[in-house]
Structure 1
Amino acid sequence: MSAIALNNIDPEDIDDLLIRVTHSFNITLEPNECKGISTFGELSDLIIKKTQGININDCTTQQAFYKIRSAIVNTLSLDNTMITPKTLLENIFPRKGRIRQIRTMEKTLGFKLRVLRPAHLTSAVLLIILFASIILLFTSWLLGLTMLLITTAGFYIATKTGKELNLKTVGEIVAVMAQEEYKKSRRYPQTVNKKEIEKLLIDWFSRELDISKSKLTKDATF
């Protein structure tokens, strides 16, 4: 069962995720270091080993929540008690002014989070046009190229102006932040809690690669 868990995953998806992992933990994985990696446990152990800092047994997720809460409070001038992990983002970030408010929050944090997205209908229409553009390249390359350029611009604009919430609650932002900006989520970036990293990696790989957590054992093979 372990072998099946990761063998069916596109290697490019794993590579893309590892780029984000190395950014989050501020590490570099050299090709020669990864060459002998064959299981999820070996990969986790390598990431934990490479993550530098004073090892402290505290909770990064909790620290991420305090940082998020402070950024939201400063952005919206709210009371601390109004923000809990279960607070719905749509209740504190109304559509009017949502982009500006979330960008202000991200500026306070010092990094971007994947909170907003275009409407699904907009993305679907752009994808249809993209596929049509690719087909046209084989019959009328000039028209196909023009449509391809227009579609590329459309995706860029849609991404910048999308107001749909990609996450539902403050707690979901906290979970993403603790994974994707691990070092910056901690109260002191020069510290690390190595005991919690494996769990964070399991949650992250499970969500992004659509794998059951029960299959992400140490023996799960790539």
Structure 2
Amino acid sequence: MENNQESWQLNQIDGEEIAELIMVLRKSLGLEFKADAFLHASTFGDLCDVFERHISYEDKAGCTSQQAFYKLRKAILETSEVAKEDITASTPMELLFPRKNRRRQVRLMLQQMGLGVKLLTCKSWIKDIAVGGMLLSFIVLFFNFKRGGVGITFFLAGLLLAEKWGKEFDQEITTIGKLVELLVSEHYIKVRRYPNTVNRAEIVPLITKVFQQKLSMDSANLTGDTSLI
């Protein structure tokens, strides 16, 4: 989704989208929920309370973003020939990972951190052609089923291959700082300095930030009293 903040209200968001974000945060925080865990959550505050009640990790102070940055910097230094002083929050990803060996360097860095994160994609024009081709093939499907089916298969396979071998950084991951934000949002527990710890003061802000960014919402519309229904 786009990062531009809109005047969306949380109760205007499709329930499936909210469920997807809950899954992202569940994985990030290493939690397990019963099927009815959010049954009585009617406000954003209630939703945050469910997360906080399920956290049993040790509460340990420390900025997770800072810890994630240090872990990321260490992984980059150990897997590539980059000077420590060249790795800052504002450093462009493309500067640290030259296109020629980008896929390999990114893979080694993520392996060093023990993370599975999709950072690379194909060029946007390839996506546009593939999506356009699939849409056109879908229309052809109504007139010639065989040709339409072949077209959809061809363009879908092409897109999947292009994604697999793509070397472009996701448009939202332009700098080291942006990557740190992503890692904290989606792999909070894993990027903490001490295993199985959380900084409880960060939990509600983390949930709020994920909802704000992924749903393109203004933080003013994400208060404890904000209605989910």
TM-score of the aligned structures, taking structure 1 as reference length: 0.93
Question: Structure 1 residues 169, 142: closer, same or farther in 2, change over 3 A?
Answer: same
Instruction: Report the counterpart of residue 209 of structure 2 in structure 1.
Output: 203
> Deviation string for 1:9-48 (max 9, x for gaps)?
2222222222211111111222211111121111111112
- How far apart are residue 4 of structure 1 and its match? 5.6
Tell whether 2:129 aligns with 1:125: yes
> Deviation string for 1:65-95 (max 9, x for gaps)?
1110011111113232221111111111111
Instruction: Report the counterpart of residue 57 of structure 1 in structure 2.
Output: 61
Tell whether 2:108 aligns with 1:92: no
Identity %: 34
Structure 1 stretch displaced more, 118-127 or 77-86: 77-86
Instruction: Report the counterpart of residue 36 of structure 1 in structure 2.
Output: 40
**C-alpha contact (below 8 Å) 1:52/1:192 kept by paired residues:** no
One-letter amino acid of the counterpart of residue 174, structure 1: V
Q: Distance in 2 between matches of 1:41 and 1:133?
A: 46
219, 225, 228: which one aligns with 1:219: 225
Runs of 4+ residues deviating >3 angstroms: none
Structure 1 stretch displaced more, 129-138 or 59-68: 129-138
> Deviation string for 1:140-198 (max 9, x for gaps)?
22222222222221221121112112211101111110110011011122111111011
- What pairs up with 1:169-180 in 2 under 5 angstroms? 169-180=175-186
Tell whether 2:22 aligns with 1:18: yes
Q: Distance in 2 between matches of 1:131 and 1:47?
A: 40
TM-score of the aligned structures, taking structure 2 as reference length: 0.90
One-letter amino acid of the counterpart of residue 116, structure 2: K
Structure 1 stretch displaced more, 89-98 or 128-137: 128-137
One-letter amino acid of the counterpart of residue 164, structure 1: E
One-letter amino acid of the counterpart of residue 219, structure 1: D
Partner of 2:100: helix, strand, or coil? coil
Q: Which sections of structure 1, spanning at least 5 residues, go unmatched? A: none
> Deviation string for 1:92-120 (max 9, x for gaps)?
11111111111111111111224222211
One-letter amino acid of the counterpart of residue 133, structure 2: I
The structure with the greater share of residues assigned to helix is 1
One-letter amino acid of the counterpart of residue 62, structure 2: D
Question: Structure 1 residues 155, 18: closer, same or farther in 2, change over 3 A?
Answer: farther
Tell whether 2:112 aligns with 1:102: no
Please provide the CA RMSD for this pair. 1.6
64, 73, 78: which one aligns with 1:74: 78
Instruction: Report the counterpart of residue 4 of structure 2 in structure 1.
Output: none
- What pairs up with 1:149-164 in 2 under 5 angstroms? 149-164=153-168
**C-alpha contact (below 8 Å) 1:134/1:148 kept by paired residues:** yes
Partner of 1:31: helix, strand, or coil? coil
Question: Structure 1 residues 79, 4: closer, same or farther in 2, change over 3 A?
Answer: closer
Partner of 2:181: helix, strand, or coil? helix
Q: Which sections of structure 2, spanning at least 5 residues, go unmatched? A: 1-6
